[in-house]
Structure 1
Amino acid sequence: MRKYRSKPVVIEAVQWFEGMEVEGVIDLAMLSEKWFGKTDMDGRYAVYSLEGMMSVRNGDYIITGLKGEKYPCKPDIFEAKYELVD
């Protein structure tokens, strides 16, 4: 099997905490079931990603992908994978 390395890509991200307004983060309590439907979310906040709805917790990073999509990332994984660009 061949081995591959990720290409270096610069992303945009912000560390999110409850009460912050960040584009893409949805407060599920503000949506009615009629509009949104039932979810299997285990939290109150979510991001609609390319993979569907994903829970967002305090301290998660909200990443903007290459095509403008949003997705959450746990702090320990984010800090292991990314470094700040000046």
Structure 2
Amino acid sequence: MKLYKVVKKNIPVEAYQTKKPLDIQTLEGVMHANAGDWIITGVEGEQWPVKKEIFEKTYSIISEKR
């Protein structure tokens, strides 16, 4: 087995920070998001929650959608 070091492609996705707890339907089933978590919408419309701390380490805001 060969092991490779890879990097995820830079594909812009949409995200918003939720102000209240909510449940999100993801490809893996329903996931809970707490207030302050980010909800990401992928390129095919799929959604998933990301904890605020993880979002800050792994995502960069490139613009605000109006």
TM-score, length of structure 2 as denominator length: 0.84
Runs of 4+ in 1 over 3 A off after TM superposition: none
Greater share of residues in helix = 1
Which structure 1 residue ranges, 5 or more long, are not aligned?
19-43
CA distance in 2, matches of 1:45, 1:64: 15
2:9 is aligned to 7
Structure possessing the higher radius of gyration over alpha carbons: 1
2:51 is aligned to 74
Count of aligned positions:
61
Deviation at 1:70, TM superposition (A): 1.0
**Structure 2 counterparts to residues 47-58 of structure 1, below 5 A:** 47-58=24-35
% identical equivalent positions: 38
CA distance in 1, matches of 2:11, 2:58: 11
Q: What whole-Å deviation, never above 9, does each CA across 1:35-79 have from its counterpart, x for those lacking one?
A: xxxxxxxxx621000011101111010100111011100001011
CA distance in 1, matches of 2:58, 2:22: 24
Q: Which of the pair has the greater relative contact order for Cα pairs under 8 Å at 6+ separation? A: 1
RMSD across aligned C-alpha pairs, in angstroms? 1.2
